[in-house]
Structure 1
Amino acid sequence: MVGRSDDHSTTPPVTEQADEPRPQIPMELTDAIPQDAAHDAPTDAADPSLSDAVDVAKALDVDPKVGLSEQEAQRRREQFGSNELESAPPVPRWKKFLQQFRDPLVYLLFAATIISVIAWIIERLNAAPGSHGEALPFDAIVIVLILLVNAALGYIQEAKAEQAVEALSKMTAPQTSVLRDGKVSRIRTTDVVPGDIVVLGEGDSVPADGRLVAAASLRIAEASLTGESVPVGKRPDTLTGAKALGDRTNMVFNGTAVTQGTGRAIITATGMRTQVGHIAEMLSHTEDEITPLQREMNRVSKILGIAVCIIAVIVLVALAVVEGFHDIHDVIDSLLLSVSLAVAAVPEGLATILTVVLALGVQRMAAHHAIVKKLSSVETLGSASVICSDKTGTLTRNEMTVERVATASGEVQVTGTGYRPEGRVLSDGGTDEVDATLLHEAVATLGIGALANDGDLRERDGDWEAVGDPTEVSILVAARKAKANRHYASYQRVAEVPFTSERKRMSIIAKNTADDGILTVFAKGAPDVLLGLCTHMAVGNAVRRLTDGDRADIQATVERLSSQAYRTLGQAYRPLETQSLSQIPGIQTDAAGQVVDIAEQSDVIESQLIWAGMVGIIDPPRTEVRDSVKEAHKAGIRTVMITGDHPLTATRIASDLGIVSEGGEALTGDQLDALTDQDALDRATSKVSVYARVAPEHKLTIVKSLQRQHNIVAMTGDGVNDAPAVKAADIGVAMGVTGTEVTKESAKMILADDNFSTIVDAVREGRGIFDNIRKFLRYLLSSNVGEVFTVFFGVIFAGFLGITQPESRGVTLPLLATQLLWINLLTDAAPALAMGVDPTSDDVMERHPRSMKDNVIDRPMWGDIVFIGLVMAVVTLIGMDMHLSGGLFTDRSVEAIGHDAQMVEARTMGFTILVFAQMFNALASRSHLHSFFSHLFTNRWLWGAIAVSAALQVLVIYVPILNTAFGTVPLTLTDWLECMGLALLVLVASELRKIVLRARHRGSVDLGQD
């Protein structure tokens, strides 16, 4: 194995550099140096870029080949703290509790409290001799108590939501590869400490500031820090003088991204001591953005509040003109009326409930391996109309296995599956008798693939673990099966030209320690690309010139293997017949005689190669994906496969999964480039669902084209070059297992299992969450509109209903403000939250995606809200009328118990009817079209919430102290029958309306949102 010891270390080679004076360790480093080493640090230098890497390692008391021990890392973490930027100090709990009162509606309630206290004082002062009225201002006390309870509930709910979001942030926390105790480990970036040796590869984010100790074709994008638009080449050479930040080529900085190559660096500064930390000190903290859904809810609340205020003003003016205000009591009663209307209009806990429901839903998605980073993404998930997916690992099992090796003398089979290196090399016919020449060629081909390889294979407790790209690891496994690794154990890597998606190949230069250090180029890559760089081919132990016939035969083999769903990779090599990089013909060197970056001279290295052969790698489709593709199609979601594989391989897998029909065609990257006309491109992407041999920039082209067609696009990605497309997509999806940190940071969702089916499951869950939000919005708003109509019509028609007697003066409220507050507290929080976790309906994936332009509360829902609100008000006022003299339905004698006692009894009836009407409304609101009998008992939380609400209402009616506080009296069995019968009419009316709506929608495939 080249450049690897027996433990398969992946240390990149240190670039050759001239002997130069070694500057002293700068004073700036002493803050990050352990105390036992800090005394060695002089105080006259500027920065670690001016110090030799060996001196930096010595000052930080770390061996770059071993790294820190876990114990030492823990000690430094305690000394220097977490590697994270300081954020705003946490808000104290008491402040969070007080923030629950920062709401205009709460201010209205406080105003109502003050008015109630003033009314109580005036009543006490003007009471007749011997009568002192109420001993306490019960209305004011109840309002304050309810405000406190509501604030406590809001505080608890928000705390749970914060915990859910915090748990998600831990799941999506970036990770970094570090060298600890001689082994490369993945740790959370926040756990990186000064002195850590970080291992950097393409797609990684740099976790902290560090001094390079090794680099191989390393390039880092530093635009976020320096503004430099082009990735900067990095080398570990010591700088000879102080440089600007963007010119410190031997340093890496926190928050930048590796775009090419590999490297290792000693961490010199973490957290706020980094360059980014210095900038962060100058920036003010920003507040969390509210989701689009929350903004719409705030808008709806404001509209309702304004509407009710207008209604209140109209009612007050009408009362002033018709009745007149005779004394202070009339004014106070009128003000209480306006406050009651405002309180009845808007659900106080709407924003909190919305946040909690989203957070709980996102937690459920995380349990199913779909980690959504932002709550606002849930709304977008339910609207996805196209899912663009990688093939390898997402649509397939990502258990790459080399099954075929094709060389000049024929083909062999390699048995065994997965990453356990157990198997045999058989003839093409499946026998153990393999021609010696063919076996030699196959072993050589696998050996080259194992040398030009950045993967690793590790055994832990009898299990084999693949480290790195699965395709590369599959070649390592096959090489071990063929014992090819033994033939190349003497080679050590000295330089490399890394793989990039644009080049579609990688090359390394290795020296043979058993042959005086002679250098050889080993390369692997896409056969069509690599073949173009070859001039000869290996046949047995000989090498001959590559003819046009040979090229045609190789291409035919590629086509045949690709049509059988094999991914093909070619292998080639070239002896350099020299022991020094600088002596390779055509290689450029600098003034000091040092070789200029090899990656920049790939045309010299990768020329006149000798073709050795190719491998056929199979990655079987995931069995569950076909059903997921079918489900997505039923949901109106188109599946698009994008891969770098051969078109025949891509179409074969796509047809097996049901993405395209048998014989479907793929569009290649070259064909996409040829579509220079935007309209032609959009026409192509509207029809083609398989893209092969594409580069990452093509993904961005496809995303933008689909978005121009008004699609909501989900795009998967794993490599650093996928990040632009993932970020541009409406739903960027990063691979949690194989994805790079840069891609994960760009994505809105991370797949913990890299499985396409998880995306479809997340869309289903997102649609279910959105449905549940609509359910509890329908319920909350219709219930509150019912309260508004009850108060409004109760005042307007007070004389007809018997609420106002001929001899009475002023305003008589149908329901008290405290009763309305109790109804809101009782019926809003618990049932709404229970509806927020309602099981996903069976037809949620049988509807077409909703448009992002559609309102959450659409016309049909407003129809439900107004209709149910009117029915609630009617049955509530009928129930009150039946217990009042001079009403429409009854004419009870007022002399029997007096009008005030009658009014208390009637209010108790109306109060109870409205509570139970809202409980029945909770059952009805679970669907816009389907009967409440459908899945009646699937949500046990809703039934529990209804039971608790009913029990609390019974307490209000039968507990004496609560009778006084809420103005209620005990009800008889007959009263209860009347209450339940009238409240049940809400459910009956809802069912009749649904029957009519279903009749109108009969024959429609898509019944719309539920």
Structure 2
Amino acid sequence: MPNETDMTRAADDAFLQDAAIVAARLGVDLETGLSDAEAARRLAADGPNELRGTPPVPMWRKVLAQFQDPLIYLLLAAVVVSLVAWFVEGAHGAPVDAIVIAAIVILNAILGYTQEAKAADAVAALSKMTAATSTVLRGGERKSVPSSELVRGDVLVLGEGDAVGADARLFFASALRVQEASLTGESAAVIKSPATLAAPAPLGDRTDMVFKGTAVAQGVGRAIVTEVAMATEMGAIAEMLDATVEDPTPLQNEIKLISKALGIIVVIVALVVMITVILIQGITDPADLVVVLLLGVSLAVAAVPEGLPAILSVILAIGVQRMAKRNAVVKKLSSVEALGSASVICTDKTGTLTRNEMTIERVVTASGQAEVTGVGYRPEGAVYGEDGQLSGAQHFEVQLVLGAGTLANDAQLTEHDGEWQIQGDPTEAAFLVAARKLDGTASRLDRFERRAEIPFTSERKMMSTLHQERPDGAHVLFSKGAPDVLLERCTRLQVGETTVPLTDELRRRAQDDVQALSAQAFRTLGVAYRTVDAVDPAAEVDPSLEQELIYVGVVGIIDPPRVEAADAIAEAHRAGIRVIMITGDHPATAVRIAADLGIVEPSARALTGAELDTLDPEQLRAVTREVSVYARVSPEHKLRLVDALQSDGQIVSMTGDGVNDAPALKSADIGVAMGITGTEVTKEAARMILADDNFATIIAAVRQGRVIFDNIRKFLRYLLSSNVGEVLTVFLGVVFAGLIGLNDASNEGLVLPLLATQILWINLITDSTPALAMGVDPEVDDVMARRPRKLTDSAIDGRMWGGILSVGLVMALVTLFGIDMFLPGGLVEGSDSLEVARTVGFTTLVFAQLFNAFNARSETSSAFRKLFSNKWLWGSVALGVLLQIAVVELPFLQVAFGTASLDLAHWGACVALGSVVLWYDEIRKIILRAVGRRHSGESAR
């Protein structure tokens, strides 16, 4: 077991030491890696491999933060004023007002802390779901572990698309290139080699090292972890940087502006109410002044929706957790706003729109076309010629095509409990499956031993492997790739067991075969080979060997569309979302699949990457308005398409899985990475990860994003209309106190429609749980029947403000009418005391707001639509009713809140008057629906 000194020395100058020496000092076997037990011991000793973030906020500071608000300061001031008044008046009995207000402050703080904790827990859970992983050797086996659990001495297994999880010394590399721009600023990928450097070198020239935070752009490699966490080069940079603050989204800014504007308005209204009370009713003693001050403070606190930001965070967090359960993992809560506004979805074909179970169905060689039966990865089926039998020459050619494709291959096909599974690229796996269906192929392949590989790259569009025929036979290079690319490198053609020169006529015929397969929606891959006279085993295999190849044939591979993809695309079109398919496949294949799925008409055309290269930005922008299928494109073209669509005012979602897709995903409004086939680099660049790589999941996430935004509008509609109702009740009650009989109700001087503590109580029970329940409200309106929302659109439009103000006014009027009904005098003659009448008004306003919770679920749909679909809303309303009964009927609460017991007639009046808000809004919605239908009819004409 190495000591700490040895490990530190190994890390300090690892790039100048032989890899074997580094491994010895770190106590690791390069063939097996660390044991699980040793890795656990080192993790416990050194801590997680994470950059130091902002220190967690202690619980006591979170609690204290709940009291750091101007409105809370007002309430605390009200407590002080109440205590002073109580003391001046002789300190008789308990200071009830001060105790009640203090209790409400504490309850508000508890609610605020609970809401923030819930949102924080949800974000933490999402962070775990999107945590980066690394492949390591542990106990001789490859294992995928969270990158945070990497330790010094771990053996990293690197492949194209991997994010490098720690600083590490290479001891093996094949065509390895690493993108280090995030660390060094160098835009070009750096070629890496395990060869030890002869002299000290700057960071960008340490070619035998890989560093945390960089990405593998090409090739494969293995490396020994030398530094983790803050000891890495990325950690050194992190030490110099302050934590960046994420810019708020337009929605968050709007909520902040609404809260601020309402705060200013309500403070003005509170002052006007206080002045009005003083002018109309007068102040006869200090106690009256205290009552007026408490009223003004309570009105300001109750009317300002100070809980909006916290409730917004909770609703977003709950919604994102719901998405995660449906296989759409949104990495940041703020992305939900863009997701619900997506107007264009640019999607890959393979695996997203299709099942990604590639199956070879056709093999075309010089002797004709052969059909391969069977689908999926179960190797059951057979190979037939055009007349049902394979001739000797065709059998040899087909066997060579399937055999060469199986050898030039990195996939694996295994069987577990009767289920066939693949590891690696599905296209490569298709060769493994098809080869098993042709008798004799497997025995021929056993004669070849793999020696080297020239990896596939998106630029070359092909790969090759070098094999030696046993025992001590010739070296053979097997290649497969895009047929057009492969044919350019071929000079001869396989015909039976012989080869002939690849003439222009034979080349044209081979190209026609490819076109015919593509027209039938097959993906095509060509296969070729050549013998190599002499190869130095120690030398790196060079791509220059991929010349003068012998063309064998082409296979037609089908990837069946997902059954649910066509339905999802139709749903996207219904929602006003355009779907664009981007693929590396042949244009004819792309159009056929797109037409089958309903993306375009069969007569539509596909634009190729080569054609995109000829367009200037303005021409490209014009083309993207018309063309919805792009074929033979590279990841660089994806970025250009995203930029063109965005410059045209679209909100763009882009899917991707390869390392080169990362720039396009990062540039898109909603970058979507594949959770199964996606690389770590794309997952880091994306805002959303599809756990099932399914296009239908994107549409489900868009729907959920729209539902979340609808729910935000619901709680805004509810909170603001309720707060307007409270303000208008007090203001109109003071102005028209004589009209409703309040002035004659008492000989004690100052008489108000509601007490300060009653206003605070209403705010406490109606603005908390019902608003939160709306955050989990299921879809009421058909959110996919409307056009995408623009990010510049206001969350509260003019029609919604009209509803908020009118519903608030109705609340105030029915509350004041309830008071008038039971007071002597006024518009309606009553016979009850002021306490009873005020309690009726107080209870009527509470019930009106609880009824309003059902109104607020939709701007136009009836409250009775899906009435019982939200059990949490019903629970919150039931809780509000129980609490109101308690505050009215329990003696100690009567003292605290100035209430009096009510009989059945009073309770019936409260319910009936409170429900007027519901019936008013139903009538308003009927009118809105009728106007909407009329406008739709006019538009149709």
TM-score range, shorter chain: over 0.9
Kept in 1: contact 2:2–2:26 (CA 8 A): no
Deviating more after overlay: 220-229 vs 57-66: 57-66
- The structure-2 alpha-carbon separation of the partners of 1:798 and 1:40, relative to structure 1 and needing over 3 Å to count, comes to closer
- Counterpart residue number, 1:818: 757
Q: How far 1:39 moved relative to its partner? A: 7.1
- Counterpart residue number, 1:191: 149
Q: How far 1:388 moved relative to its partner? A: 0.9
- Counterpart residue number, 2:580: 640
Matched, 1:973 2:930: no
* Aligned partner (choices 860, 873, 880) of residue 949 of structure 1: 880
* Aligned partner (choices 650, 667, 674) of residue 590 of structure 2: 650
Distance 2:821 2:177 in 1: 83
Matched, 1:116 2:72: no
What is the DSSP-based 3-state SS (H/G/I as helix, E as strand, rest coil) of the residue aligned with 1:613? Answer: strand
- Counterpart residue number, 2:25: 59
Q: Encode CA deviations 1:552-576: one digit per residue, 9 max, x unaligned.
A: 1111111111111111001112222
Q: How far 1:321 moved relative to its partner? A: 5.5
Matched, 1:665 2:581: no
- The structure-2 alpha-carbon separation of the partners of 1:242 and 1:811, relative to structure 1 and needing over 3 Å to count, comes to farther
Kept in 2: contact 1:847–1:1007 (CA 8 A): no
Aligned positions of 1:36-47 closer than 5 A: 36=2, 46-47=12-13
Matched, 1:932 2:863: yes
Q: How far 1:492 moved relative to its partner? A: 4.4
Q: How far 1:534 moved relative to its partner? A: 1.0
Matched, 1:503 2:445: no
- Counterpart residue number, 1:780: 719
Q: Encode CA deviations 1:295-330: one digit per residue, 9 max, x unaligned.
A: 322211111110011122333444555666554334
Q: How far 1:704 moved relative to its partner? A: 1.5
Kept in 2: contact 1:646–1:692 (CA 8 A): yes
What is the DSSP-based 3-state SS (H/G/I as helix, E as strand, rest coil) of the residue aligned with 1:124? Answer: coil
TM-score, normalized by length of structure 1? 0.89
* Aligned partner (choices 229, 251, 254) of residue 293 of structure 1: 251
Distance 2:324 2:583 in 1: 27
- Counterpart residue number, 1:923: 854
- Counterpart residue number, 1:588: none
Kept in 1: contact 2:276–2:734 (CA 8 A): no
Distance 1:299 1:39 in 2: 57
- Counterpart residue number, 2:189: 231
Distance 1:550 1:412 in 2: 19
What is the DSSP-based 3-state SS (H/G/I as helix, E as strand, rest coil) of the residue aligned with 2:89? Answer: helix
Q: How far 1:959 moved relative to its partner? A: 0.5
Deviating more after overlay: 773-782 vs 537-546: 537-546
What is the DSSP-based 3-state SS (H/G/I as helix, E as strand, rest coil) of the residue aligned with 1:798? Answer: coil
- The structure-2 alpha-carbon separation of the partners of 1:560 and 1:145, relative to structure 1 and needing over 3 Å to count, comes to same
What is the DSSP-based 3-state SS (H/G/I as helix, E as strand, rest coil) of the residue aligned with 2:846? Answer: helix
* Aligned partner (choices 455, 474, 480) of residue 411 of structure 2: 455
* RMSD of aligned residue pairs (Cα, Å): 2.3
- Counterpart residue number, 1:514: 471
Distance 2:9 2:508 in 1: 67
Distance 1:716 1:797 in 2: 62
- The structure-2 alpha-carbon separation of the partners of 1:402 and 1:538, relative to structure 1 and needing over 3 Å to count, comes to same
* Aligned partner (choices 14, 20, 35) of residue 48 of structure 1: 14
- Counterpart residue number, 2:351: 393
Distance 1:494 1:776 in 2: 65
- Could you tell me which amino acid in structure 1 is paired with residue 476 of structure 2? T
Aligned positions of 1:778-817 closer than 5 A: 778-805=717-744, 811-817=750-756
Q: How far 1:268 moved relative to its partner? A: 1.3
Matched, 1:413 2:344: no
What is the DSSP-based 3-state SS (H/G/I as helix, E as strand, rest coil) of the residue aligned with 1:116? Answer: helix
Matched, 1:559 2:490: no
Deviating more after overlay: 197-206 vs 292-301: 292-301
- The structure-2 alpha-carbon separation of the partners of 1:465 and 1:79, relative to structure 1 and needing over 3 Å to count, comes to farther
- Could you tell me which amino acid in structure 1 is paired with residue 488 of structure 2? G
Aligned positions of 1:313-328 closer than 5 A: 313-319=271-277, 325=283, 327-328=285-286
Deviating more after overlay: 505-514 vs 561-570: 505-514
Q: Encode CA deviations 1:121-180: one digit per residue, 9 max, x unaligned.
A: 22226xxxxxx3xx1111111111122222222222222222222221111111111222
Deviating more after overlay: 553-562 vs 803-812: 803-812
- Counterpart residue number, 1:146: 104
Q: How far 1:456 moved relative to its partner? A: 2.6
- Counterpart residue number, 2:236: 278
* Aligned partner (choices 757, 773, 789) of residue 834 of structure 1: 773
Q: How far 1:476 moved relative to its partner? A: 2.5
Distance 2:236 2:862 in 1: 61
Kept in 2: contact 1:291–1:375 (CA 8 A): no
- Counterpart residue number, 1:913: 844
Distance 2:531 2:447 in 1: 15
What is the DSSP-based 3-state SS (H/G/I as helix, E as strand, rest coil) of the residue aligned with 1:801? Answer: coil
Q: How far 1:904 moved relative to its partner? A: 1.9
Distance 2:139 2:171 in 1: 17
Q: How far 1:63 moved relative to its partner? A: 2.2
Matched, 1:76 2:32: no
- The structure-2 alpha-carbon separation of the partners of 1:543 and 1:515, relative to structure 1 and needing over 3 Å to count, comes to farther
- Counterpart residue number, 2:428: 472
* Aligned partner (choices 668, 685, 689) of residue 750 of structure 1: 689
Distance 1:692 1:42 in 2: 52
* Aligned partner (choices 130, 140, 145) of residue 172 of structure 1: 130
Deviating more after overlay: 649-658 vs 159-168: 159-168
Q: How far 1:803 moved relative to its partner? A: 2.3
Matched, 1:537 2:493: yes
Aligned positions of 1:349-428 closer than 5 A: 349-428=307-386
Deviating more after overlay: 377-386 vs 90-99: 90-99
Q: Encode CA deviations 1:602-643: one digit per residue, 9 max, x unaligned.
A: 3x2222111111111110000111111111111111111110
Kept in 2: contact 1:333–1:810 (CA 8 A): no
What is the DSSP-based 3-state SS (H/G/I as helix, E as strand, rest coil) of the residue aligned with 2:176? Answer: strand
Distance 1:382 1:524 in 2: 42
* Aligned partner (choices 46, 55, 71) of residue 89 of structure 1: 55
- The structure-2 alpha-carbon separation of the partners of 1:568 and 1:866, relative to structure 1 and needing over 3 Å to count, comes to same
* Aligned partner (choices 227, 232, 239) of residue 269 of structure 1: 227
What is the DSSP-based 3-state SS (H/G/I as helix, E as strand, rest coil) of the residue aligned with 1:674? Answer: coil
User: Could you list the runs of 5+ residues in structure 2 that have no partner in the other structure?
Assistant: none
- Counterpart residue number, 2:567: 627
- Counterpart residue number, 1:876: 815
Aligned positions of 1:472-621 closer than 5 A: 472-482=428-438, 483-512=440-469, 514-515=471-472, 518-580=474-536, 602=543, 604-621=544-561
Distance 1:492 1:206 in 2: 31
- Could you tell me which amino acid in structure 2 is paired with residue 837 of structure 1? V
What is the DSSP-based 3-state SS (H/G/I as helix, E as strand, rest coil) of the residue aligned with 2:783? Answer: coil
Across the two proteins, how many residue pairs are aligned to each other? 938
Distance 2:535 2:623 in 1: 52
What is the DSSP-based 3-state SS (H/G/I as helix, E as strand, rest coil) of the residue aligned with 1:965? Answer: helix
Kept in 1: contact 2:733–2:753 (CA 8 A): yes
Kept in 2: contact 1:67–1:179 (CA 8 A): yes
- Counterpart residue number, 1:31: none
User: Could you list the runs of 5+ residues in structure 1 that have no partner in the other structure?
Assistant: 1-34, 126-131, 582-593
- The structure-2 alpha-carbon separation of the partners of 1:161 and 1:806, relative to structure 1 and needing over 3 Å to count, comes to closer
- The structure-2 alpha-carbon separation of the partners of 1:569 and 1:113, relative to structure 1 and needing over 3 Å to count, comes to same
- Counterpart residue number, 1:846: 785
Q: Encode CA deviations 1:189-209: one digit per residue, 9 max, x unaligned.
A: 112222221111111100111
- Could you tell me which amino acid in structure 1 is paired with residue 859 of structure 2? H
Distance 1:835 1:928 in 2: 14
Distance 1:41 1:789 in 2: 73
- Counterpart residue number, 1:589: none
Q: How far 1:495 moved relative to its partner? A: 4.0
Aligned positions of 1:888-899 closer than 5 A: 888-890=827-829, 892=831
Kept in 2: contact 1:572–1:613 (CA 8 A): yes
- Counterpart residue number, 1:29: none
- The structure-2 alpha-carbon separation of the partners of 1:858 and 1:39, relative to structure 1 and needing over 3 Å to count, comes to closer
Distance 2:223 2:584 in 1: 32
- Could you tell me which amino acid in structure 2 is paired with residue 711 of structure 1? Q
Distance 1:453 1:887 in 2: 91
- The structure-2 alpha-carbon separation of the partners of 1:807 and 1:616, relative to structure 1 and needing over 3 Å to count, comes to closer
Distance 1:1006 1:155 in 2: 50
- Counterpart residue number, 1:735: 674
